[in-house]
């Protein structure tokens, strides 16, 4: 069967499974909608947490950015993995013992203030919408290639799909859907990795194959280093980022992971605090399978890409190249008019390719924004995992499987984020503040309406994102680190932390992170031009600035809390209680 048929078949089967689960697990109460009734088993919750955590950035873009950045890309691997360890050990059990539905709920009650709750709601919406932009773009990329539509239409299709199972099932439906999605995405990620590892090094374990030898006896990484230097790139195993920036990005990603509201809420879905610890352990193990494989996939994809395209006449390029070219995610501009693809260091086009209506002499799509650099090839790094099986000439069913896995990764996280947005509005804002007398049915209706509106906004962010998937997601982690992480950690471990300190810290942290992100990364989508990297403060990239904003948040919180009134005695008792491991059974009720 053709790639198209296999893709339709495998994606169709997986989607039928997701929709079936959503209908079966339809939420009938707000508790089921928000925290799946609080009765999910540790293993199931671990799988759902892993799927929630491993977004399109992990499945599609992380290996892609490592593939292009080499050693520098490892910051994403270290930050996202280390952050989950931090979350599992430092925060998850205590938050579960506190026994609330959402992060704004925790902050509102811990800091005995609706102002704190409102600030937390605003932060949750900013973080979630920034994060979901990357997921919707990931969905658009997958659909654009395998359904042969443009990215905008791909995003629209993804909006409809995620709306159905998030709208029906809430957290209950999403949890069990994510269990299925984890199985699909991990199988889809590992199968081609194992195939290519055997193909290139003879070793079925990609983690070991990455350090193995190829046919001529050369180590694979040594071969890739040589290919890079021959083409004018920096050695793959060498880094160009400063140590300070690497440290800042890693810390921002770690703290951001620990402050992500859609991951934290997963620990409220299990019956006991003990189960929260168990599910955190399961999730860490399941996440490690993909995260230890991603660097190998990056090496395989980079090596195969260079060997396939370098000095190859365009007319001899395989079908996959021209298919991806039609999506606008690969572009070739024949600068020396020799009909061959010159892939060397430098930028082929200015930013993203801008295509003309005409075709070139060899049938290639012409661009109107080429640079003066010698490089003739533009490759969007978000396609590397998806195109990898095609580049390696794997069977068509494997290529279709990867499409199903990419969609599972993006949709699982998108659904979790949309639920956070929905609960922030319906539960934290409406029920807790504006209309506390509404009944369960009215609150559930408000939650579903909120999801519908959130999907529309998320789709717009997916169509007009501020960068490639991993970069957008990294910015969301920076925002979470700058806002939530200090408020949660200090709320658990500092009895003296009060509402004035927490509110001031969150406002300062999120504000300076947003300012830095806009001025150096997004440029407000053309309203302002982003400043160049030479202007970075302290030499820190926007992806790493969340660490600076986090420390500023902590400093402001501690200073202000010490110059204002201490929290009430009952609040201090609650803080003492959630840190006592002896009552690791039911969550406390307050």
Beta bridge partners of 108: none
Task: Report whether 40 contacts 48 (CB < 8 A).
Answer: yes
For the stretch 494-516, pLDDT in tens is 889 999 999 999 999 999 998 88
User: Alpha-carbon distance 365 to 325, whole Å?
Assistant: 7
Q: What is the 3-state secondary structure (H, E, C) of 199-213?
A: HHHCCCCHHHHCCCE
pLDDT the model gives residue 583: 45
Q: Is 289 left (phi over 0), alpha (psi -120 to 50) or beta?
A: alpha
In angstroms, how far is the first alpha carbon of the chain from the final one?
Answer: 60
User: Domain map of the chain by residue range?
Assistant: 3-304+390-466
User: Alpha-carbon distance 503 to 497, whole Å?
Assistant: 11
- In Å, how far are 104, 270, 432 from 426, measured between CA atoms? 12, 22, 9
- Nearest partner of 179 among 12, 402, 416, judged by Cα: 416
pLDDT the model gives residue 502: 94
Place of tokens 């009060």: 498
Q: Is 378 left (phi over 0), alpha (psi -120 to 50) or beta?
A: beta
pLDDT the model gives residue 508: 95
Q: Is 530 helix (H, G, I), strand (E, B) or coil?
A: coil
> Per the confidence metrics, is the pTM higher than 0.85?
no
Place of tokens 């049915």: 441
Average pLDDT over residues 169-181: 71
- Say if strands 330-332 and 355-359 run parallel, antiparallel, or are unpaired: unpaired
State both tokens at 275.
């189960």
Q: Which CATH number fits domain 3-304+390-466: 1.10.443.10, 3.40.50.2300, 3.40.50.2000, 1.10.4160.10?
A: 1.10.4160.10
Mean pLDDT estimate for the chain: 80
For the stretch 549-567, pLDDT in tens is 999 999 999 999 999 999 9
User: Alpha-carbon distance 488 to 121, whole Å?
Assistant: 14
- How would residue 366 be classed by pLDDT, with cut points 50, 70 and 90? confident
DSSP label at residue 362: T
């Amino acid at each position: 069967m053709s790639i198209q048929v296999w893709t339709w078949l495998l994606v169709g089967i997986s989607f039928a499974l997701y929709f079936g689960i959503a209908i079966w697990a339809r939420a009938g109460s707000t508790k089921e909608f928000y925290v799946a009734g609080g009765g999910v088993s540790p293993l199931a919750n671990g799988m759902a947490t892993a799927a929630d955590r491993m977004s399109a950035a992990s499945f599609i873009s992380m290996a892609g950015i490592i593939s292009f950045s080499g050693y520098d890309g490892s910051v994403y691997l270290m930050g996202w993995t280390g952050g989950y360890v931090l979350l599992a050990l430092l925060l998850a059990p205590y938050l579960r013992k506190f026994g609330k539905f959402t992060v704004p709920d925790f902050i509102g009650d811990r800091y005995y203030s609706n102002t704190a709750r409102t600030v937390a709601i605003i932060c949750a919406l900013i973080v979630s919408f920034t994060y979901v932009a990357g997921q919707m773009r990931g969905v658009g990329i997958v659909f654009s290639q395998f359904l042969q539509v443009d990215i905008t239409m791909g995003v629209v299709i993804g909006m409809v799909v995620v709306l159905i199972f998030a709208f029906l099932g809430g957290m209950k439906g999403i949890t069990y859907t994510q269990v299925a999605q984890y199985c699909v995405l991990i199988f889809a990620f590992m199968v081609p990795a194992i195939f290519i590892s055997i193909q290139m090094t003879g070793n079925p374990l990609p983690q070991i194959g990455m350090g193995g030898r190829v046919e001529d006896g050369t180590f694979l990484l040594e071969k890739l280093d040589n290919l890079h230097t021959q083409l004018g790139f920096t050695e793959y195993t060498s880094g160009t980022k400063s140590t300070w920036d690497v440290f800042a990005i890693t810390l921002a990603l770690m703290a951001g992971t620990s402050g992500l509201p859609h991951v934290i809420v997963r620990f409220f879905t299990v019956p006991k605090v003990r189960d929260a610890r168990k599910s955190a352990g399961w999730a860490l193990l399941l996440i490690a399978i993909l995260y230890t494989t991603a660097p190998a996939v990056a090496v395989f994809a980079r090596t195969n890409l260079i060997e396939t395209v370098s000095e190859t006449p365009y007319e001899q390029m395989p079908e996959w190249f021209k298919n991806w070219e039609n999506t606008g995610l690969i572009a070739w501009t024949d600068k020396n008019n020799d009909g061959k693809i010159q892939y060397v260091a430098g930028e082929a086009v200015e930013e993203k390719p801008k295509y003309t209506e005409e075709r070139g002499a060899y049938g290639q799509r012409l661009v109107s924004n080429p640079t003066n650099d010698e490089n003739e090839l533009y490759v969007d790094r978000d396609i590397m995992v998806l195109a990898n099986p095609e580049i390696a000439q794997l069977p068509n069913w494997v290529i279709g499987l990867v499409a199903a896995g990419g969609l599972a990764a993006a949709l699982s996280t998108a659904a979790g984020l949309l639920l956070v947005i929905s609960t922030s509005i319906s539960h934290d804002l409406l029920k807790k503040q504006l209309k506390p007398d509404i009944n369960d049915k009215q609150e559930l209706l408000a939650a579903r309406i909120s999801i519908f509106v959130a999907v529309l906004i998320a789709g717009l962010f997916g169509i007009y994102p501020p960068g490639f998937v991993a970069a957008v997601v990294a910015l969301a982690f920076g925002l979470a680190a700058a806002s939530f992480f200090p408020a949660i950690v200090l709320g658990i471990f500092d009895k003296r932390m009060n509402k004035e300190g927490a509110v001031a810290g969150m406002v300062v942290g999120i504000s300076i992170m947003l300012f830095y992100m806009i001025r150096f990364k997004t440029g407000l989508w053309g309203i302002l031009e982003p400043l160049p990297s030479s202007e970075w403060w302290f030499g820190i990239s926007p992806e790493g600035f969340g660490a600076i904003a986090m420390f500023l948040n902590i400093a402001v919180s501690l200073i202000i809390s010490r110059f204002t009134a201490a929290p009430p005695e009952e609040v201090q008792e609650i803080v003492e209680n959630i840190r006592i491991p002896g009552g690791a059974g039911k969550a406390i009720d307050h």
